[in-house]
Chain A
Amino acid sequence: MPTERDFQLSPIVQESVIHNTRTLNNLQSLTSSLFGVAAGILGLESYNGFLFYLVCSILTTVLFYVVRIAPTGIPAAAAAAASQKSAAGGVGGSGAFDTSRYYRSPYEFWTGGLLNGLAGFILTWTLFFGLVRA
């Protein structure tokens, strides 16, 4: 848990935090509706539908990571060197699946959108289920 002192030592750019969070939220609410359409067409019921949503939204996050975060990272060799330095108290590098450059906590990035898009998912899921099985 970062303290007040940590924020004094390494300040956070608030506009960037807002921008990044909004980008991820927009993507998740759009894609959750899309997954609802797919689940409705496939005719999934009860747990299968929620499982479909879970898998798809994790896939979305991974894809977002691959497209937007991974290409801007430090290469693995440099990251390994940097992590050795960070063990010695230096500046830390970015390992695999490290989101600290763009998001304040990894939980916010990996699981933050699950509940966010659930309502949209259920809405379009039921709508398209009803439309297709008319």
Chain B
Amino acid sequence: MTGISKALTAFGSLLLAHACYSAHEHSALQTLKAATLSLTSTASQTTATTLPADIAIETVIATLVVLLGLVLSTQPLRPIQWRVWAGKIERQGEEGFVDNNGEVIKEYIGNPFQIFENRPGFVDIRKQRMEFAEWVKSSAGAEQ
């Protein structure tokens, strides 16, 4: 996707630059023609500088091509509702949160409920007390 969008943007920019140069040359030519006309005769200075159709068409096409390239190069959007967003993380994991280059985005935090899923269980205090008692007993037996 990113290759296509870059190519489109570059191609469109080239077309646009060409159209811009053509339009500039056209207007320069018009001014020159008007100047030479005014030298030879007292013609009116109103130079009807309507752009030739091919330049106009080229400009519009170039604009559309660059526009398409720019739109294709935008980052994928992310859901704003918490339930949709968390569901997407749950379903797709990292694959749902990549940018145009296929790399996982920096803001990706993984499962938002991780803190609940990783909490430690209850401590079995009776079992620990038994173990401590055993240890005391065995160490006392070793001393005697």
Which residues of A pack against B, CB within 8 Å?
A: 10-13, 15-17, 19-20, 23, 26-27, 30-31, 34-35, 37-38, 41-43, 56, 59-60, 63-64, 67-69, 72, 101-104, 128, 131-134
Of A20, A67, A132, the residue contacting B24 (CB under 8 A) is: A132
26 A–B pairs (Cβ distance < 8 Å), ordered by A: A12-B82, A16-B80, A16-B85, A19-B77, A31-B70, A34-B66, A38-B60, A38-B62, A41-B55, A42-B56, A59-B67, A67-B71, A67-B72, A67-B74, A68-B71, A69-B77, A101-B80, A101-B81, A101-B84, A102-B77, A102-B80, A104-B80, A128-B20, A131-B24, A133-B27, A133-B49
Q: B80: which A residues are within 8 A, CB to CB?
A: 12-13, 16-17, 20, 101-104
Q: Are B67 and A31 in contact (CB under 8 A)?
A: yes
Q: A15: which B residues are within 8 A, CB to CB?
A: 78, 107
Q: A37-B16, A38-B59, A38-B60 are in contact. Are A12 and B81 (CB under 8 A)?
A: yes
Q: Which of B10-61 contact A (CB under 8 A)?
A: 16, 19-20, 23-24, 27-28, 49, 51, 55-56, 59-60
Q: Are A43 and B51 in contact (CB under 8 A)?
A: yes
Q: Are B78 and A102 in contact (CB under 8 A)?
A: yes
Which residues of B pack against A, CB within 8 Å?
A: 16, 19-20, 23-24, 27-28, 49, 51, 55-56, 59-60, 62-63, 66-68, 70-72, 74-85, 107
Q: Are B68 and A63 in contact (CB under 8 A)?
A: yes
Q: Are A68 and B51 in contact (CB under 8 A)?
A: no
State in angstroms the CA–CA spacing of A11 and B71 once bound together: 29
Closest chain B residue to A67, Cβ basis = B71
Q: Are A19 and B67 in contact (CB under 8 A)?
A: no
Q: B81: which A residues are within 8 A, CB to CB?
A: 10-13, 101
B23 to chain A, nearest CB (A): 5
State in angstroms the CA–CA spacing of A94 and B62 once bound together: 34
Given A10-B81, A16-B79, A134-B24, 7 extra CB contacts under 8 A: A20-B80, A26-B74, A37-B16, A38-B62, A59-B67, A68-B71, A101-B79
Q: Are A132 and B77 in contact (CB under 8 A)?
A: no
